Amino acid sequence: MSLTLAAPWVLLLLPLPLLVWRFAPPHRDRSRATRIPFFRQVTEAVGSPASDGALILARSRLQLVAASLVWVLLITGLARPERLGEPITITSAARDLVLAVDISGSMDDRDMTAPDGTRLQRLQAVKDVVGAFVAEREGDRISLIVFGAKPFIQAPFTEDLDSVVELLNQVQTGMAGPNTAIGDAIGLAIRSFEDSEIEERLLILLSDGADTASTMTPINAAQIAAQEGITIYTIGVGNPDGSGEERLDPATLEDIATRGGGAFYFADDVEGLSEIYAEIDALNPRVTDSASYQPREPMAHIPFALALLIGLGTVGFLHATRRPEAAG
Q: What is the pLDDT of residue 92?
A: 60
Q: What is the pLDDT of residue 328?
A: 42
Domain boundaries, the chain: 2-85+298-320, 90-290
List pLDDT tens digits, range 117-172: 888 899 999 999 999 999 888 878 899 999 999 999 999 999 899 999 999 999 99
Q: Which of 36-40, 85-89, 190-194 has the lowest mean pLDDT?
A: 36-40
| pTM more than 0.75 | no
Is residue 326 very low, low, confident or very high in pLDDT (cuts 50, 70, 90)? very low
Q: Is 11 exposed, middle or buried (0-12, 13-18, 19+ CB in 10 A)?
A: middle
- Whether 288 shows a pLDDT value over 80: the answer reads no
- Whether 241 shows a pLDDT value over 80: the answer reads no
Is residue 86 very low, low, confident or very high in pLDDT (cuts 50, 70, 90)? confident
Give the mean pLDDT of 86-99. 76
d(Cα 256, Cα 247) in Å, to the nearest integer? 17
Q: Cα dist. 200→25, 121, 155, 206, 247 in Å?
A: 71, 33, 19, 20, 33
- Whether 302 shows a pLDDT value over 90: the answer reads yes
Average pLDDT of the chain to the nearest whole number: 85
Type of residue found at 159: E
Q: Which of 79-93, 195-209, 230-244 has the lowest mean pLDDT?
A: 79-93
Type of residue found at 23: F
CB-based contacts of 154, cutoff 8 Å, min separation 6: 144, 145, 146, 167, 168, 170, 171
Q: What is the pLDDT of residue 29?
A: 67
Is residue 233 very low, low, confident or very high in pLDDT (cuts 50, 70, 90)? very high
Q: How many CB atoms lie within 10 A of CB 130?
A: 23
List pLDDT tens digits, range 213-229: 888 899 999 999 999 99
Give the mean pLDDT of 311-328. 74
CATH number of 90-290: 3.40.50.410
Give the mean pLDDT of 86-112. 82
- Whether 252 shows a pLDDT value over 70: the answer reads yes
Is residue 327 very low, low, confident or very high in pLDDT (cuts 50, 70, 90)? very low
List pLDDT tens digits, range 37-83: 766 776 777 676 666 555 556 677 888 889 999 999 999 999 999 98
> What is the percent of the chain where pLDDT is above 90?
47
d(Cα 56, Cα 83) in Å, to the nearest integer? 45
DSSP string spanning 212-280?
A: -S-SS-HHHHHHHHHHTTEEEEEEEESBTT--GGGB--HHHHHHHHHHTTS-EEEESBHHHHHHHHHHH
Q: What is the pLDDT of residue 195?
A: 81
Is residue 322 very low, low, confident or very high in pLDDT (cuts 50, 70, 90)? confident
Is residue 179 very low, low, confident or very high in pLDDT (cuts 50, 70, 90)? confident
